[in-house]
Structure 1
């Protein structure tokens, strides 16, 4: 565990509209680019906690269990057990969480039997009353990688995700406890992406014009300045949060510009598997962006794959703040806590 450290909070003033203040785990301030220039920031000194005990506070209005990249594989019992362990750990530290989200790559190759195993593990180990919010990742499109001779189409893979996850589409929105949840989704398989763009874009997210227009229409629905909007996208926006060199690319800067019209957006991304102890795992540039790491294994370019670690979040939403509690499931310990105070301009 890290010891208590002095960190820097950022009070981001984007276009004169300071909706959120970020208390982040960093010994150096972040400097973000807004419209090509460095944003003006007010720097204060605060303390971040790596406490092993639960914070004593009023019951949150919303409590979320957020994970990513479980990579369920019928031939990999070790990785599958890590999903079981993570869910059981969550039941100990947050037994009454309101919703659980898996931010893509639930399966390793998007096979029907992998979905079935994923659903079985989830049903047996999650809070039974918790709502679910499932997001498609690039691995849900990878059947051809494991079965080169398959004739499965992109439409069939899309339909499989929709049916198995019991959702209305690849991209959809949902209201949970009065909070708006929105998912953005890549819409083409790995094989199709390679055929269209070459190998360099195999993991990128193809987002259609139809989806972008849908996002523009969906974001403002019942939007309130001081109330978070939770947005999920498996791949991060390139050159933002920690791990975003493995970004969605293609249309992602256009998507970011749309999201920035709503500073109350909190965007969760997975895909990179980068661990949660890095200060830039929670990053602010007009909106708040959160790296969700991975349950199956973590990764950094320096250390490679680490199959010991398994990480995710408990997110507590209060009237005046959003609290991100990063969790190491393998040891049942907290990595860090990051708090975003919510400023209500009507108060």
Structure 2
């Protein structure tokens, strides 16, 4: 007998979920060195990338490409900064960043690849925090008054290199709940996670979804319940390496019992190797040369626009205004 999908289990358990793919404006327009077409200067600009995993040449190209869009207030790396989390890899990563134009602020979420070594979990986390300058695996900061929240695991993956990868824990969940409540009147609160929510963006939803992404979080139900109560949440996740040209690169997630407007979720793309469906409920590498990421823009009127970018071809892929 075929086991029920994760989505059916959640619904049967009382946590009803609805995902609405958002697509956005397809905008395959080259911007090149001259920058993208002129628009009003944003109040806040963030560059968001993920899944570098040793692809340092691709990272350099991405940083150069993002600089062509104009200055940003911060660079956010949504996890998998390195391939195995060794000291040498962190040194190489930050040397590469230093050799290319980038915002002064570089923020990061903890990914699973930062833990792919034989060191104790506490050592892995300490190394991540020392190199990134982040205060903890979960934290709050801001850019131009825009709240930026980071979440990450407080315990090693229960199955090693297989999901679920993240245990948030009661303390972090309580912190997240209280922090989102504190910002209830903010137009937008950005939440950055390396790992993905089920049935949201590319790789996790639709008939070609990869079952590998059915449950990244041990405490998934609790996390969704908290996020689902806040329509101003904009959740960014990496991990899948799936194409930002897909309609499901962005979605609106509605959780039963939460705010009926739902909250927004975005795929952050990849620096190293594009993946996609294999037609068998899994995934496969599609293009090792592909490299994609986001620029997030907040204007003076509080409108948030998320652009997806192809760094290899120097093009805007899609744009969605919230």
- The normalised TM-score by structure 1 is 0.75
| 2:222 alignment counterpart | 254
Indicate the structure whose relative CO is greater, using CA pairs within 8 Å and at least 6 residues apart.
2
Closer, same or farther: CA 47–134 of 1 in aligned 2, 3 Å: closer
Shift of residue 68 of structure 1?
Answer: 0.4
Question: Relative to structure 1, is the Cα distance of residues 116 and 47 closer, same or farther in structure 2, using a 3 angstrom cutoff?
Answer: closer
Distance of aligned partners of 1:56 and 1:320 in 2 relative to their CA distance in 1, 3 Å threshold:
farther
What residue is the counterpart of 2:185 in the other structure? 224
Contact persistence 2:50–2:270 (CA under 8 A): yes
The aligned counterpart of 1:189 is 156
Q: CA deviation at 1:174?
A: 0.6
**Which entry has the higher C-alpha Rg, 1 or 2?**
1
Residue matched to 1:24? none
* Cα displacement (A) at 1:253: 2.5
Instruction: Select the residue among 241, 254, 269 that pairs with 2:201.
Output: 241
2:293 maps to which of 312, 326, 337? 312
Alignment length (residue pairs): 283
Call closer, same or farther: CA 1:124–1:37 in 2, change over 3 Å. Answer: closer
Is 1:334 the counterpart of 2:299? The answer is no
The answer to which of 98-107 and 252-261 deviates more is 252-261
Distance in 2, matches of 1:171 and 1:71, equals: 21
CA distance in 2, matches of 1:256, 1:236: 11
Alignment of 1:199-210 (within 5 A): 200-201=162-163, 204-210=165-171
The 1:126/1:218 distance shift into structure 2, 3 A limit, reads: farther
Q: Cα RMSD (Å) of the superposition?
A: 2.5
| Residues 25, 319 of structure 2: 8 Å contact kept | no
1:133 equivalent to 2:107? Answer yes
Q: 5+ residue gaps in structure 2?
A: 1-10, 205-210, 254-261
Change (3 A) 1:159 1:320: closer
Structure 2 partner of 1:163 = 130
Report the Cα distance in structure 2 between the residues aligned to 1:211 and 1:105, rounded to whole angstroms: 21
Give, in angstroms, the shift of residue 292 of structure 1. Answer: 0.7
Pick one of 232, 243, 251 that aligns with 1:283: 251
Match of 1:215 among 135, 158, 176: 176
- Corresponding residue number in structure 1 for 2:207: none
Contact kept, 8 Å, 1:237 with 1:253, in 2: the verdict is no
CA 223–275 in structure 1, closer or farther in 2 if over 3 Å, else same? same
1:100-128 per-position Cα deviation (integer Å, ceiling 9, x unaligned): 10000001001111111111111221334
Q: Which runs of 5+ in 1 are unaligned?
A: 1-32, 73-78, 145-151, 341-347
Distance (whole Å) between structure 2 residues aligned to residue 332 and residue 315 of structure 1: 17
Q: CA deviation at 1:37?
A: 7.3
1:113 to 88, 93, 96: 88
- Distance, in Å, in 2 between the alignment partners of 1:134 and 1:329 is 20
> In structure 2, the residue corresponding to 1:87 is in which secondary structure?
helix
